[in-house]
Amino acid sequence: MDLSVINPILLLAALMSAATPILLAATGELVVERAGVLNLGVEGMMIVGAIAGFIVAVNTGSPALGFIGAAAGGAVLSLLFVFLTQVALANQVASGLGLTLFGLGLSALMGQSYVGVKPPRMADLDLGPLSDIPVLGRILFSHDAMVYIGLLIVLGVWAGLKFTRAGLVLRAVGENHDAAHALGYKVKRIRTLAILFGGACAGMGGAYISLIRVPQWTEGMTAGVGWIALALVVFASWKPWRVLLGAYLFGGITQLQLNLQGAGVAIPVEYLAMSPYIVTIIVLVILSADKSRAPGSLGRIFHASH
Amino acid sequence: MTFTKLMATAALTLGLATGAFAQDKTKVGFVFVGPVGDGGWTYEHNQGRLAVEKEFGDKVETVYVESVAEGPDSERVMTQMALDGADLIFTTSFGYMDPTINVAAKFPNVKFEHATGYKRADNVSTYSARFYEGRAIQGHIAGAMTKSNIVGYIGSFPIPEVIRGINSAYIHAKKVNPDVQFKIIWAYTWFDPAKEADAAKVLIEQGADVILQHTDSTAPQAAAQKAGNVITFGQASDMAQYAPMPRVSSIIDNWAPYYIARTKAVMDGTWASTDTWDGIGPGMVGIGEISDAVPAEVKAEALALKDKIASGEYHPFTGPLKKQDGSDWLAEGETADDGTLAGMNFYVEGIEGDIPQ
């Protein structure tokens, strides 16, 4: 065992990047659920975003355009969910699961001629003198732009939900859609916008995997990240900062356990492998001991006739 | 009990029904652990399936289900295939072992072929390839080329097949480079590109300049390429899109001849339960082209080693060898028997760390 081979600076830097896909997808889903909609299709929207972003980035040579394409791809797929649950009033759980299965198949089809293709590299954001600060510079200020955009989205969602009128209306729709409807708010329109936002975020999260973390396209490459994001939203009690904490904990411990394995630490590998899940759940469950609860109308179908 | 009866009745009815109409077509099913586009393990099994279709044309119908989780899910998929009238089912991952045996007991007239396992029945054969022969060649190249003397190894699950590969690679790396050290990370997955890439990055950060992988995707290759000056080997498939650097060679699984022969046996009615374990010699394990990134003399040595293994002149597990705890395993000149190899659950002397139990 030789712990000195673990570089804590690189570890913390890797944490921020490893957490970004989950963070993006979970933040998007948080907004969807706060609007009272349960979309289990996160995994499907992520994988479609991963390939849509990949295709755009390869064909335009621009990773930035790739992420825009990924957001569009995820949002377009979520339109299907909008149609099923908001127009056809189908069951949200079944529609979400269907969306995941459909997304996995669709992405495999879209990506057939992109296996083995290398995407353009996304350069790290140049933050000038900030990156030169010892230790902190390497950990905090030497990432690609998407890491910061992810953080900005969390900040925006938190502030938006807490301080703006739009956020208040969205929460009202999620807590009690009948009351919100009686007040004259357009429940379906608000939910549709929330679902589209969730799809765009999930799509960008997927593209972060295919364009930056792995960089390549492989079928099924999100490998369950969408489900972790979904669980995270629940354990984070539908609060943006807890989603951030959960994503960083999960990403960080995943990195840490790989590092500990490499260093040959004498902890049984099974425990190391399960530690990201256990620790994240325990921490968030303890935090949720306060009176936070799920949005009142979560998963319920709204029809104006009620 | 009722469920079993129901299944048996259903199978019988279906068997009678399909027997009357579709006697001329042999239906072959495949259960895959990853997507067919993984570029590695499942990709090659699917190539074998396509070869069966090409060989027999109209006389055969193949079906496959991809990304099937090991465990109860796979049992459901196999049962469905058998109910749909499959005559022969290939289950292509170690974790399908018990499900295959369970389902086979319910469908005595369907033939099953389980890859990389060790449990057989009257209608269950096992087959695997001697990947460890290819690992010996990788180990040789890795030991000769590493400058940091640290070789990173991404393991999937601590099962004999993977442990054999680690041992074989280590023995041959150590032969050319006594200072070599193996760092092993268990990913606990066959297929998760992001996690595989992370594992590769961590190994590289910890000083490894050679990455060997026993997981199925090409993600570690991409991570190594991004890091630069790190070499890798294609796993299960050639992964030639990453040649000449970082991928300097590869192990290629060639299942097509076996799949064709077994399908033929079912058609001819000569199928019998067997245990097949072929290596470089019969062509089940191929060694992908060694790229120019490898120095010429190392390449020549590697090819010579390959020829000696193929001809049977040399066995990768030849004594003297000790186990990790220092106890004797093989005496001078003695070679490992297949039984020990099939159930290998120990590291050879020199590898650090414990095998997760």
Q: In which band, very low, low, confident or very high, does the pLDDT at A2 lie, cut at 50, 70 and 90? A: low
Closest by CA to A59, choosing from A11, A113, A127, A128, is A113
pLDDT above 70 (res A173): yes
A115 and B CB contact within 8 Å? yes
Please name every residue paired with B247 in a beta bridge, in sequence order, or none if there are none.
Answer: B232
The distance in angstroms from the start CA to the end CA of chain B is 34
Q: Are B56 and B268 spatial neighbours (Cβ–Cβ below 8 Å)? A: no
Helix or strand or coil: residue B111? strand
Q: How far apart are CA B191 and CA B218, in angstroms?
A: 10
Helix or strand or coil: residue A136? helix
How many beta carbons lie within 10 A of that of residue B77, not counting itself?
22
What pLDDT shows up at residue B16? Answer: 44
Q: What is the mean pLDDT of residues B195-207?
A: 92
Cis omega before residue A134 (within 30°)? no
The counts of H helices and E strands in chain B are 11, 14
Considering Cα of A197, then A200, then A206, then A207, what sign does the dihedral take?
negative
Both tokens of residue B5? 């009866």
Q: In which band, very low, low, confident or very high, does the pLDDT at A131 lie, cut at 50, 70 and 90? A: confident
Candidate from B37, B183, B192 with C-beta closest to A262? B183
What pLDDT shows up at residue A102? Answer: 95
Q: What is the mean pLDDT of residues B46-74?
A: 93
pLDDT above 50 (res A137): yes
- How would you list the strands of the sheet with B275-278, edge to edge? B60-65, B26-31, B88-91, B111-115, B124-129, B275-278
Helix or strand or coil: residue B192? coil
A3 and B CB contact within 8 Å? no
pLDDT above 50 (res A218): yes
**Residue where the block lists tokens 């990201």:** A276
What pLDDT shows up at residue A1? Answer: 54
Q: Are A107 and A47 spatial neighbours (Cβ–Cβ below 8 Å)? A: yes
The residue of A17, A54, A213 whose CB has the most chain B CBs within 10 angstroms, and thus the best one to mutate to test that interface, is: A213
Higher per-residue pLDDT: B38 or A67: A67
Q: How far apart are CA A177 and CA B49, in angstroms?
A: 53
Both tokens of residue A123? 């350069």
pLDDT above 50 (res B14): no
Q: What angle do CA A163, A164, A166 make, to 5 degrees?
A: 145
How many beta carbons lie within 10 A of that of residue A295, not counting itself?
22
Report the range of poorest mean pLDDT among A16-25, A267-276, B291-300.
A267-276
pLDDT digits (tens, 9 = 90+) for B319-350: 899 999 999 999 999 999 988 998 899 999 99
CB contact under 8 A, A14 and B192: no
B126 and A CB contact within 8 Å? no
The residue of A113, A217, A221, A228 whose CB has the most chain B CBs within 10 angstroms, and thus the best one to mutate to test that interface, is: A221
What pLDDT shows up at residue B22? Answer: 46
CB contact under 8 A, A21 and B192: no
Q: In which band, very low, low, confident or very high, does the pLDDT at B5 lie, cut at 50, 70 and 90? A: low
CB contact under 8 A, A214 and B193: yes
Exposure letters B202-212 (e unless 16+ CB within 10 A, then b): bbbbbebbbbb
Write out chain B residues lying below 8 Å of A101, CB-based.
none
- Main-chain dihedrals φ then ψ at residue B190, nearest 5 degrees: -90, -30
Mean pLDDT (chain A) is: 90
The bridge status of strand B88-91 relative to strand B26-31 is parallel
Candidate from B39, B191, B206 with C-beta closest to A116? B39
- The percentage of chain A sitting over the pLDDT mark of 70, rounded to a whole number, equals 99
Q: In which band, very low, low, confident or very high, does the pLDDT at B111 lie, cut at 50, 70 and 90? A: very high
Amino acid at B230: V
Q: How far apart are CA B243 and CA B231, in angstroms?
A: 10
Q: How far apart are CA A48 and CA A268, in angstroms?
A: 37
Domains of chain B: 3-130+255-278 (3.40.50.2300), 131-253+286-342 (3.40.50.2300)
Candidate from A21, A264, A270 with C-beta closest to B353? A264
Q: What is the mean pLDDT of residues B304-330?
A: 93
pLDDT above 90 (res A48): yes
**Residue where the block lists tokens 């970082």:** B246
Distance from CA of A265 to the nearest CA of B (A): 8
| CA-to-CA separations, B233 to A116, A142, B250, in angstroms, rounded | 15, 30, 5
Q: How far apart are CA A40 and CA A51, in angstroms?
A: 19
How many beta carbons lie within 10 A of that of residue A292, not counting itself?
12
pLDDT above 60 (res A221): yes
Candidate from A216, A262, A266 with C-beta closest to B219? A216
What number is the ipTM of this complex? 0.80
Mean pLDDT (chain B) is: 90
What pLDDT shows up at residue B23? Answer: 55
Model's pTM, two decimal places?
A: 0.82
Closest by CA to B199, choosing from A285, A176, A255, A36, is A255
Contacts of A222 (CB under 8 A, 6+ apart): A21, A43, A46, A47, A50, A206, A209, B194
Candidate from A6, A108, A216 with C-beta closest to B222? A216
pLDDT above 60 (res B12): no
Distance from CA of A134 to the nearest CA of B (A): 19
Domain A3-287 has CATH 1.20.120: no
The Cα diameter of chain B in Å comes to 67
Write out chain A residues lying below 8 Å of B354, CB-based.
266, 268
Q: How far apart are CA B210 and CA B143, in angstroms?
A: 9
Q: What is the mean pLDDT of residues A89-93?
A: 93
Between positions 210 and 249 of A, the ones with CB within 8 A of B are 213-216, 218-225
Q: In which band, very low, low, confident or very high, does the pLDDT at A165 lie, cut at 50, 70 and 90? A: very high
Contacts of B229 (CB under 8 A, 6+ apart): B209
B198 and A CB contact within 8 Å? yes
Q: What is the mean pLDDT of residues B65-76?
A: 91
How many beta carbons lie within 10 A of that of residue B337, not counting itself?
10
- Main-chain dihedrals φ then ψ at residue A150, nearest 5 degrees: -60, -45
CB contact under 8 A, A223 and B222: no
**Shortest CA distance from B42: residue in chain A:** A219
A162 and B CB contact within 8 Å? no
pLDDT digits (tens, 9 = 90+) for B78-91: 999 999 999 999 99
B155 and A CB contact within 8 Å? no
Closest by CA to B180, choosing from B207, B219, B201, B160, is B207
**Shortest CA distance from A117: residue in chain B:** B241
- The percentage of chain B sitting over the pLDDT mark of 70, rounded to a whole number, equals 94
Q: What is the mean pLDDT of residues B300-304?
A: 95
Q: Are A275 and A225 spatial neighbours (Cβ–Cβ below 8 Å)? A: no
CB contact under 8 A, A269 and B37: no
Q: What is the mean pLDDT of residues B236-247?
A: 88
Cis omega before residue B320 (within 30°)? yes
Both tokens of residue A293? 């609860």
**Shortest CA distance from A252: residue in chain B:** B198
What pLDDT shows up at residue A281? Answer: 83
Write out chain A residues lying below 8 Å of B352, CB-based.
264
pLDDT above 50 (res B13): no
pLDDT above 50 (res B18): no
Write out chain A residues lying below 8 Å of B225, CB-based.
118
**Shortest CA distance from A219: residue in chain B:** B37
A14 and B CB contact within 8 Å? yes
Write out chain A residues lying below 8 Å of B152, CB-based.
262
Q: What is the mean pLDDT of residues A236-258?
A: 91
Q: Are B75 and A149 spatial neighbours (Cβ–Cβ below 8 Å)? A: no
Q: How far apart are CA B264 and CA B257, in angstroms?
A: 11
